[in-house]
Amino acid sequence: MFELLGIPPQALFGQLLLGLINGSFYAILSLGLAVIFGLLNIINFTHGAQYMLGAFVTWMLLNYLGVNYWWSLLIAPVAVGITGVILERLFIRRLYHLDHLYGLLLTFGLALITTGIFKQIFGVSGLPYQAPPLLSGGHNLGFMYLPNSRAWVIIASAVVCLATWFVIEKTKLGAYLRAATENPTLVGAFGVNVPLMITLTYGFGVALAGFAGVLAAPIYAINPVMGENLIIVVFAVVVIGGMGSILGSIVTGFGLGLIEGLTRVFYPEGSAVVIFVIMALVLLVKPAGLFGRTA
């Protein structure tokens, strides 16, 4: 009964699983971009490099300090987040009164510098990262084989995305963030330290990229350009979901991952471009994105 259009279920579900995994990364990364863009009005082109940084910090923690994967899940995002806080304080802060374009150029330049430094030190061939024992092996679900490492990425990503959504949409802290996104001057005039909020928000968005990097370490090759390729797709996801929309970036992230997976089953030649085709279609119909608010 699973013989859909002559495609074996193993292949179909295998590709859907791959799609969900890609979607997990799209979701976390575009969520971080959305949070940053919402409050800072900056398109954070450094995001891909910060994702790469998360993976490298994970690798370094294991190889230099013997810190295992599970601790890295906590330490690496915090470390990457701190580099974000420093960047915001040193550079990005100076651009808020200027056009968007300056923030884009700055963060793009920072991405090139970061990637360049890592290429210089580590080369581009990629470093291996041994998955922890708990993540090796897998389960046979009958219709497909589900490796633990992949199931873990999907679950961890979904939990982090939903927790972020919950904090932003349902808590007092999130209310400050939403209010400051709309009118930072007024929130400051209520006595709230908006500049500090902006710094921490950037740090948090960057930490999300770092977290995605940790998740990537055991399943993808760790190399300096791993973020460059991914981030282009993630920007398309953000455009489709709508810039600055929290729920939009999560739903479109996972959804587009699945669509990409399905395309790989039914029309493999189109899988590399399907997201960009969807982006073009969405821009034609809803220029603000599926979940975007037109200002």
Partner 1 sequence: MAEAAFATNPQADAGSPLLSVKGLEAWYGESHVLHGIDFDVRFGEVVTLLGRNGAGKTTTLKAIMGVLPKRTGSVQFQGKELMHAPARFVAREGIAWCPEERGIFSSLSVEENLMLPPQVKPGGMSLDRIFELFPNLKERLSSQGTKLSGGEQQMLAIARILRTGAKMLLLDEPTEGLAPVIIQQIGHTIARLKQEGFTIILVEQNFRFASTVADRHYVVEQGKVIDMIPNDQLEANIDKLHAYLGV
Cα separation of the two ends of the chain: 48
Residue 184 beta carbon to partner 1: minimum distance, rounded to whole angstroms: 10
Beta strands (DSSP E) in the chain are: 138-140, 145-147
Report d(CA 213, CA 256) in Å as an integer: 20
Residue 145 beta carbon to partner 1: minimum distance, rounded to whole angstroms: 44
Q: Does 93 bind partner 1 (CB under 8 A)?
A: no
CA dihedral 111, 115, 117, 121 (to 10 degrees): 160
Q: Does 173 bind partner 1 (CB under 8 A)?
A: no
Residue 189 beta carbon to partner 1: minimum distance, rounded to whole angstroms: 4
Task: Report whether 146 contacts 20 (CB < 8 A).
Answer: no
How many residues touch partner 1 under the rule CB under 8 A: the total is 18
> Candidates 15-23, 169-177, 219-227, 253-261 — which segment interacts with partner 1 by CB under 8 A?
169-177
The single-letter code of the amino acid at 55 is A
Residue 156 CB contacts under 8 Å (≥ 6 apart), including other chains: 24, 73, 215
Residue 157 beta carbon to partner 1: minimum distance, rounded to whole angstroms: 25
Identified binder of partner 1 from the candidate list 172, 269, 284, 285, rule CB under 8 A = 172
Q: Does 10 bind partner 1 (CB under 8 A)?
A: no
Q: Does 194 bind partner 1 (CB under 8 A)?
A: yes
Residue 45 beta carbon to partner 1: minimum distance, rounded to whole angstroms: 26
Residue 288 beta carbon to partner 1: minimum distance, rounded to whole angstroms: 15
Identified binder of partner 1 from the candidate list 104, 158, 192, 247, rule CB under 8 A = 192
Q: Does 190 bind partner 1 (CB under 8 A)?
A: yes
CA dihedral 158, 162, 164, 166 (to 10 degrees): -170
Stretch 227-246 residues interacting with partner 1 (CB under 8 A): none
Q: Helix 148-170 crosses helix 9-40 at what angle (to 10 degrees)?
A: 30
Q: Does 199 bind partner 1 (CB under 8 A)?
A: no
CA dihedral 278, 216, 74, 88 (to 10 degrees): -60
Contact residues for partner 1, defined by CB under 8 A:
172, 175-176, 178-179, 181-183, 185-194
